[in-house]
Amino acid sequence: ETNLVSLNDFPIGHLKTLKELNVAHNFIHSFKLPEYFSNLPNLEHWDLSNNKIQNIYYEDVKVLHQMPLLNLSLDLSLNPLDFIEPGTFKEIKLSGLTLRSNFNSSDVMKTCIQGLAGLKINRLVLGEFKNERKLQRCDRSFLEGLCNLTIEQFRIAYLDEFSGDHTDLFNCLANVSVISLLSISLGSLQALLKDFRWQHLEMINCNFDKFPALKLSSLKKFVFTDNKGVSSFTEFKLPRLQYLDLKRNHLSFKGCCSHTDFGTTKLKHLDLSFNDV
């Protein structure tokens, strides 16, 4: 909150050991990275949230193409994004990217995600904030653009309702290692019957019609907490599962806790607290 409108003349080019840069809550309109960013090889976290950035072009990230910042996590949340030029992030590698409460419509969201094609990223966060909601309804097709990204960890938060069939909702995330769903309305998730390569799955404060009957051979950690609309536990088949957290769901269990209930003999952590066991 320094009334900053541009990074061009920001006097930090000599700070070669800088790891974190926070310029959130300002009036920055352009995402163009100044040339002095090539002198910041240790930068790990750049917070540009709550500025005025609407468009991102290839020329804006030219510095990242010339000198990659592989450990950089970028937060662009609460910028009114309208357009990301296709190819802008092709072959760029980032540690993290957060885009929350950026889009006024599902169409804009879909277009901007398509503009991220070619990006290689460790952790991608999409969605909205609890008190900053812009999308009334979310077209599931926006996730299709993620097929053109390489993602290790994915989180999506505070999207109330997906339109259309959920059968292949997460197909473009089949090779993600970690996936987190926070405050999402999904109803029945039959898509999770498929054998994705997920190793860590979180479902927190979501709305479901019934407990997801998982069959994920690679899953090692499953966190299912504070969810709504689910009353009965359903058996699942997770042969590699080691960590299971089912607390605060008001679940009822007909029986517990044989290997047939959880589909594994490798469980090391089990939390059933605050349920109707």
Kindly report, residue by residue over 91-125, the tens digit of the pLDDT.
999 999 999 999 998 899 999 999 999 999 999 99
Looking at residue 13, its pLDDT comes to: 87
Residue 159 predicted with pLDDT over 70:
yes
Looking at residue 215, its pLDDT comes to: 84
Residue 185 predicted with pLDDT over 70:
yes
| 143 pLDDT tier (thresholds 50, 70, 90) | confident
Looking at residue 11, its pLDDT comes to: 85
| 22 pLDDT tier (thresholds 50, 70, 90) | very high
Long-range contacts of 40-43 (CB under 8 A, 24+ apart): 40/12, 40/13, 40/15, 40/16, 40/69, 41/16, 41/67, 41/69, 42/16, 42/17, 42/18, 42/71, 43/18, 43/19, 43/69, 43/71, 43/72
Looking at residue 106, its pLDDT comes to: 87
d(CA 270, CA 277): 13
Residue 251 predicted with pLDDT over 80:
yes
Looking at residue 231, its pLDDT comes to: 81
Average pLDDT, the chain: 88
Looking at residue 9, its pLDDT comes to: 80
- Domain boundaries 20-164, CATH class: alpha beta
Residue 187 phi, psi (nearest 5): 70, -120
Instruction: Note the pLDDT tens digit of each residue in 33-46.
Output: 998 998 999 999 99
Residue percentage of the chain with pLDDT more than 90? 59
The SS3 call for residue 109 is: helix
